[in-house]
Chains A and B, each alone.
Chain A
């Protein structure tokens, strides 16, 4: 595909778009893993929310 004399500008714009979207996706995935890990560590030490404790105590 011939994009004419401004190929570099067009490709750079799409590269920035892809880069920003990938950074956003990585941000939510990495943050999710980090929060899940911290929550699991705390719960492994027996520290749970009251609502979670009630669910455990329920027969």
Chain B
């Protein structure tokens, strides 16, 4: 099956049907390994056992950002190539991205209280991440407001591409401004500054989160394709009844 064949929703559904069980199994295995490595990892010399929150907080943050970048690629697919699955992919990804961004914000607050003495501070990293979460909610609201998928797709694509500006702001906020949030410790020039005993569980958890996202995203895309088929059939029934 070539890549162009996946533009056909029926062929895409067949592919999802075949791959989803394997993907779900790989997610469960990787997540179990990551959680076990995370709980077995040594405490940080400064933060103690609270460093275990990092193993869910950091992958959730990466995924919240990655999901918006993925939706931006889909938005280009909608606006430039009018790919039939582009809007489906973006619409299915938005609630998952919102959930992981919320997870990042909540776990960050629960990590911040014992380490910083506060759940929340209006610094650049935290505020830009909150803005990302609000943009996800706005986007979901937009899709729910416009009933016709094709009309909603273009408006959502434009909003997604405008919102892409926030992604580098989140990433580089700790470099551009003086923040309470610590600077980048993994993806930085000069390599990671985290000890390998903590870095490996973090990377395994990040892989588990990516697999979890792929599983949920494919399942949500399948649901969205079915929802559009239901809508088409309902319109056909309404036309038949009117004739």
Contacts and interface: CB of A to CB of B under 8 A. Distances in A.
A49 B56 contact: no
A29 B223 CA distance: 9
Interface residues of B, number: 39
Given A9-B114, A27-B95, A28-B216, A14 B56 contact: yes
Contacts of A31: 220, 223, 227
B103 A16 contact: yes
Most chain A CB within 10 A, of B48, B57, B110, B111, is at B110
A56 interface: no
Contacts of A5: 48, 114
B174 to A, nearest CB: 21
B233 A47 contact: yes
Interface in A34-50: 35-36, 38-39, 42-43, 45, 47-49
Contacts of A45: 237
B48 A39 contact: no
A10 B226 contact: no
B233 A42 contact: yes
B226 A35 contact: yes
B23 to A, nearest CB: 12
Chain A's interface size range is 35 or more
B223 A6 contact: no
Nearest to B95: A27
Contacts of B113: 9
Interface of A: 1-7, 9-10, 12-14, 16-17, 20-21, 23-25, 27-29, 31-32, 35-36, 38-39, 42-43, 45, 47-49, 51
30 contacts: A3-B49, A3-B52, A5-B48, A5-B114, A6-B48, A6-B50, A9-B53, A9-B113, A13-B107, A14-B56, A17-B60, A17-B103, A20-B99, A20-B100, A20-B102, A20-B103, A23-B99, A24-B95, A24-B216, A28-B216, A29-B219, A31-B223, A32-B226, A35-B230, A39-B226, A42-B230, A42-B234, A43-B233, A47-B233, A47-B237
